[in-house]
């Protein structure tokens, strides 16, 4: 899921001693893991009692707190010397803000946190997180190698590995396949057929729209807009973390396509739309025929919909081209944790990312399995045999390019959002808005250039 930009946060402290709900995977004892020490080799974990906190975002359409609590119970049964205390808060932004507030206030950070994979540069530069290389070096080499490359791409920086993929997703297009069939429509293969399908499936009763052809949230637009730019021929980021590509024909085409969906095809509400949270339920209830959203919402949509749900990557501008980007959160160990806490956190990371447990987590949430071995798990194979949409969501990754990750991410992302909004609301011409976004972003990135 996406980051939540709210500056406030709501805390729910959950102390797990003996929870009643367990995950579907059987308890697996995590292998012994080393503890990272600054400037030296990792030390072996001790059997001394240790308590770790895990900061965790739960603002997704899945029972994340219940699922994780079940895993905690299993882990503690297999590792009685380690107590895990989950601390659940709203979204990714809330977790990051809470950690920043704690550290800057002189408090002790949690040992482990799930934060956006794209936060890596900011977290490293702030000194909040610890590198994992010592742990990885003393683990089975096949462990890290098994994670999907598209997800590991956001785990490395400056020659070190800083996080392990966990609840990872991708941008996809959900559609009501029954409505498509009733209208004699095939799934779209390019922007033209996509817009025409949205137009055909929009229903009006006089001036009142009873069903939109598509809902496309644009209040936090970078993640949903990025695949449009990729589909138009140019990603908005490259390999250089101090370079962006906002002032491009691809980005101009992206904004024009979005505006045309409302202004030309009248198939989506005009202007900036803050409908991310309601999109999945609007699709399930028939208020929209399509919604651009996260694979992390798959389980929620399937549980609500009484029709066949189609899942696919975005159609590209040209016929036969498709696009997506990965998203979601990684597991980070905090640099301020003690060596014993880091060692325990690493054990918990390995436990959470066992293939069978990854498959179970993906089945319960809709997140994409983060490692190859999970796709071979019997539970996953059985699941996709009856829920092919889950495999379709995972298959979208073959069309994915790197997610928007740059230095000074918060400021640069805000710049992009502000100018996208100006273009959508008609405050600036599309070309002028993207030229200004490029100039302002380059100024924000200049201090980080070497």
According to CATH, the topology of domain 171-326+403-448 is: D-Maltodextrin-Binding Protein; domain 2 (3.40.190)
Per-residue CA distances from 319 to 187, 191, 232, 237 (Å): 12, 8, 11, 24
pLDDT at 23: 34
pLDDT at 82: 97
Q: 3-class DSSP state for residue 318?
A: coil
Q: Name the helix (H) or strand (E) containing 437.
A: helix 430-445
Tell me 298's DSSP state.
H
- Kindly tell me the number of DSSP H helices and DSSP E strands found in the chain: 19, 14
pLDDT at 432: 98
Q: 310 has which bridge partners?
A: 175
**Residues found in the chain:** 450
φ, ψ of residue 144 in degrees (nearest 5) = -70, -35
Q: 3-class DSSP state for residue 17?
A: coil
Question: Are 268 and 198 a contacting pair, CB within 8 Å?
Answer: yes
Tell me 388's DSSP state.
H
| Residue 294 structure tokens | 């996260």
pLDDT at 32: 34
pLDDT at 46: 55
* Alpha carbon distance 87, 7 (integer Å): 18
* Alpha carbon distance 437, 334 (integer Å): 33
Q: Is 3.65.10.10 the CATH classification of the domain at 12-169+327-399?
A: no
Per-residue CA distances from 144 to 8, 51, 52, 139, 361 (Å): 35, 26, 23, 9, 18
95: left (phi over 0), alpha (psi -120 to 50) or beta: alpha
**Common-topology check for domains 12-169+327-399 and 171-326+403-448:** yes
pLDDT at 58: 81
pLDDT at 60: 58
Place of tokens 């730019």: 229
Domain ranges, ordered by start, for the chain: 12-169+327-399, 171-326+403-448
* Alpha carbon distance 238, 244 (integer Å): 7
Long-range contacts of 157-160 (CB under 8 A, 24+ apart): 157/120, 157/121, 157/124, 157/241, 158/124, 160/131, 160/132, 160/133
Question: Are 352 and 141 a contacting pair, CB within 8 Å?
Answer: no
Pairing of strands 309-312, 322-323: unpaired
pLDDT at 59: 63
Q: 3-class DSSP state for residue 25?
A: coil
b/e burial code for range 308-343 (CB count within 10 A of at least 16 → b): ebbbbbbbbbeeebbbbbbbbbbbbbbbbbebbbbb
* R_g (Cα) of the chain, nearest Å: 22
309: left (phi over 0), alpha (psi -120 to 50) or beta: beta
* Alpha carbon distance 137, 245 (integer Å): 36
| Residue 179 structure tokens | 């409505």
Place of tokens 């100018």: 419
Question: Are 189 and 264 a contacting pair, CB within 8 Å?
Answer: no
10-residue mean pLDDT profile of the chain (450 residues): values are 33 29 32 34 65 87 84 97 93 91 93 95 95 94 93 91 96 98 98 98 96 96 96 95 97 97 97 94 97 91 96 97 96 97 98 97 91 97 97 95 93 97 97 98 93
């Amino acid at each position: 899921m996406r980051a939540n930009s709210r500056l406030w946060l709501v805390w729910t402290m959950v102390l797990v001693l003996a929870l009643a709900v367990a995950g579907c995977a059987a308890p697996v004892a995590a292998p012994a893991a080393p503890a990272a020490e600054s400037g030296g080799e990792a030390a072996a974990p001790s059997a001394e009692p240790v308590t770790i906190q895990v900061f965790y975002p739960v603002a997704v359409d899945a029972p994340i707190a219940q699922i994780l609590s079940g895993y905690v119970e299993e882990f503690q049964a297999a590792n009685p010397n380690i107590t895990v205390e989950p601390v659940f808060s709203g979204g990714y932004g809330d977790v990051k803000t809470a950690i920043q507030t704690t550290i800057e206030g002189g408090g002790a950070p949690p040992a482990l946190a799930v934060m956006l994979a794209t936060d890596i540069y900011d977290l490293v530069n702030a000194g909040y997180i610890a590198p994992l290389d010592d742990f990885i070096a003393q683990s089975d080499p096949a462990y890290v190698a098994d994670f999907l490359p598209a997800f590991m791409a956001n785990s490395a920086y400056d020659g070190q590995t800083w996080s392990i993929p966990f609840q990872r997703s991708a941008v996809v297009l959900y559609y009501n396949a029954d409505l498509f069939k009733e209208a004699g429509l095939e799934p779209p293969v390019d922007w033209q057929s996509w817009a025409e399908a949205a137009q055909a499936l929009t229903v009006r009763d006089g001036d009142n729209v009873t069903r939109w052809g598509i809902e496309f949230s644009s209040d936090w637009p970078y993640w949903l807009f990025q695949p449009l730019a990729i589909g138009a021929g140019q990603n908005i980021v490259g390999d250089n973390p101090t370079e962006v590509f906002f002032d491009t024909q691809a980005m101009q085409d992206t904004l024009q396509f979005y505006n045309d969906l409302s202004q030309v095809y009248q198939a989506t509400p005009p202007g900036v739309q803050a409908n991310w949270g309601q999109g999945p339920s609007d699709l399930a209830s028939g208020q929209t025929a399509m919604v651009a959203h996260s694979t992390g919402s798959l389980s929620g949509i399937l549980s609500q919909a009484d029709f066949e749900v189609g899942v696919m990557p975005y159609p590209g501008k040209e016929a036969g081209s498709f696009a997506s980007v990965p998203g979601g959160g990684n597991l980070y160990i905090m640099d301020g944790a003690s060596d014993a806490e880091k060692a325990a956190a690493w054990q918990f990371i390995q436990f959470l990312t066992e293939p069978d447990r990854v498959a179970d987590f993906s089945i319960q949430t809709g997140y994409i399995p983060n490692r190859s071995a999970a796709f071979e798990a019997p539970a996953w194979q059985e699941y996709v045999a009856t829920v092919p949409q889950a495999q379709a969501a995972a298959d979208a990754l073959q069309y994915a390019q790197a997610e928007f990750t740059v230095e000074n991410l918060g400021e640069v992302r805000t710049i992009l959002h502000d100018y996208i909004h100006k273009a959508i609301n008609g405050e600036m011409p599309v070309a002028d808005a993207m030229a200004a976004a490029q100039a302002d972003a380059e100024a924000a990135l200049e201090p980080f250039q070497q």
